[in-house]
Amino acid sequence: MQADELDFELPSELIAQTPAAHRAESQLLHYVRSDRSVEHRRFSDLPSLLRRGDLLVLNDAQVIPARFALKKNTGGIVDALYLADESEGRWRVMLRNAGPNAAGRVLHLADAPDVKAVIVEDHGGGQYTIRLEPPQKPLDLLGRVGRMPLPPYIHRRRQHDALDDMDRRRYQTVYAQSAGSVAAPTAGLHFTDELFAALEAAGIERTFVTLHVGLGTFKPVTAPTLEAHEMHREAYSISAAAADALNRAKVAGRRIVAVGTTAARVLESQPADAPFVARRDETGIFIYPPYRWRHAGALITNFHLPRSTLIALVAAFMGLEEQRRTYRIAIDNRYRFFSYGDAMLIE
């Protein structure tokens, strides 16, 4: 499959810069694969669209405020994104504007000037190891000085504290539990406690898995074909309770509904012919047409970037031509795209 088959033209004004005023009032494009029908609904309609007995599988990863600023001795600012804790006091980060021959350079945290950050190693591609002096626990320090790691197509002025407060609330699902993601599982941003209550009353169950969304989720497919693309790997876990809920649904013949591409990747990383088990692992699964789905019977997802691994997964679920047709319909009907945008239910 050619990567340019996943391209499409999107008017810039349809890239959502802020979330809907109310989470569950986002638009929902409802697509039915059996007859290729499209309906325009609201996310709050979900209890009437799903089937009694459906099992929603949601990713409970929590986004950490991973963006922070470092200051050079000259006063210049280096933008930083926390990626991982390598060892006590040593962080793997992305740096922008670090400059040439950066290894050995001493910087200070712009919002915690008593903390030094020494660039220890340049790994290439904008990734570095820094050593913090004194050593800092990532969640503690970033909780004080970090900002939410919004995707590059959402534009924020760094000093805009009111928007940052909003992003801390809204670029996070209401059920986030497991801290460690640098991007949100965006299909879950539309759920509210009230909507969960309505879904439960309609006989729709839910369970949670965890996949910590990494920087690779935004990496475009640069290879000419999808087969040549090198897929990123992400850590995930399935609890014993989630495995039990999934097994009961499978035995009863009930439908499993993946909420987002991350939950879908966790599900599809499991064997087709064996029960689900509690597991901690990594997945590098890359789902694109043609693909034979193992577990997910329906998919809730946002509208994704052109030429991305995410839109390839959607094309694998509904067919490439139908994915392209429904995206054209969404654009014509002024749906809002990407992380803070609207959603689709594909069944």
Average the pLDDT over 198-215 and give the result: 95
| Cβ neighbours of 256 (radius 10 Å) | 22
Ranking 79-88, 99-108, 139-148, 156-165 by mean pLDDT, the lowest is 156-165
The C-alpha atoms of residue 53 and residue 322 are separated, in whole angstroms, by 27
Q: Which segments of the chain does DSSP mark as H helices, in order?
A: 46-49, 138-145, 161-170, 193-201, 240-252, 261-268, 309-318, 320-332
Q: For the segment 10-53, what is each residue's pLDDT rounded down to a tens digit?
A: 999 999 999 999 999 999 999 999 999 999 999 999 999 999 99
**Strands 55-59 and 256-259, how do they pair?**
parallel
Average the pLDDT over 58-74 and give the result: 95
Same domain, 71 and 50: no
Q: For the segment 110-167, what is each residue's pLDDT rounded down to a tens digit?
A: 999 999 999 999 999 899 999 999 999 999 999 999 999 999 899 887 656 677 889 9
- 159 domain-assigned: no
Stronger pLDDT, 218 or 261, i.e. the higher one: 261
Same domain, 274 and 330: yes
Same domain, 84 and 216: no
Two tokens, residue 22: 């109310």
∠ at Cα 242 (240, 246), nearest 5°?
A: 115
Q: Tell me, what's the pLDDT at 165?
A: 86
The C-alpha atoms of residue 156 and residue 167 are separated, in whole angstroms, by 10
Beta-carbon-side half-sphere exposure of residue 20 (alpha carbons within 13 Å): 22
Whole-prediction pTM: 0.94
Could you give the 3-state DSSP secondary structure of residue 216?
Answer: helix
Same domain, 269 and 174: yes
Number of domain units in the chain: 2
The C-alpha atoms of residue 158 and residue 164 are separated, in whole angstroms, by 8
Two tokens, residue 68: 């922070």
Same domain, 243 and 117: no
Q: Tell me, what's the pLDDT at 312?
A: 97
Same domain, 106 and 230: no
Same domain, 194 and 232: yes
Q: What is the CATH number of the domain that holds 212?
A: 3.40.1780.10
- 314 domain-assigned: yes
Q: Tell me, what's the pLDDT at 50?
A: 98
- 163 domain-assigned: no
Q: For the segment 270-290, what is each residue's pLDDT rounded down to a tens digit?
A: 999 999 999 999 999 999 999
- 155 domain-assigned: no
Average the pLDDT over 305-313 and give the result: 96
Same domain, 236 and 175: yes
Q: What is the CATH number of the domain that holds 99?
A: 2.40.10.240
Q: Tell me, what's the pLDDT at 335?
A: 98
Radius of gyration over every alpha carbon of the chain, rounded to an integer in angstroms: 21
Question: 315 has which bridge partners?
Answer: none
Q: Tell me, what's the pLDDT at 160?
A: 60
Average the pLDDT over 214-234 and give the result: 88
Q: Tell me, what's the pLDDT at 156?
A: 81
Q: Tell me, what's the pLDDT at 184?
A: 95
**Please, which residues have CB within 8 angstroms of residue 34's CB and are 6 or more apart in sequence?**
none
- 303 domain-assigned: yes
Q: Which of 146, 178, 202 is the last residue of a domain?
A: 146
Same domain, 52 and 74: no
- N residues, the chain: 347
- 156 domain-assigned: no
Same domain, 210 and 269: yes
- Give the domain extent around 125: 67-146
Work out the mean pLDDT of the chain and round it to a whole number.
95
Place of tokens 């569950």: 24
Q: Which of 89, 111, 146 is the last residue of a domain?
A: 146
- 75 domain-assigned: yes
Is 215:187 a contact under the CB 8 Å cutoff? no
Q: Quick check: 219 pLDDT over 90?
A: no
The C-alpha atoms of residue 183 and residue 218 are separated, in whole angstroms, by 9
pLDDT band with cut points at 50, 70 and 90 for residue 56: very high
Same domain, 176 and 102: no
**Please, which residues have CB within 8 angstroms of residue 111's CB and are 6 or more apart in sequence?**
68, 69, 144, 145
Same domain, 185 and 266: yes
Residue percentage of the chain with pLDDT more than 70: 99
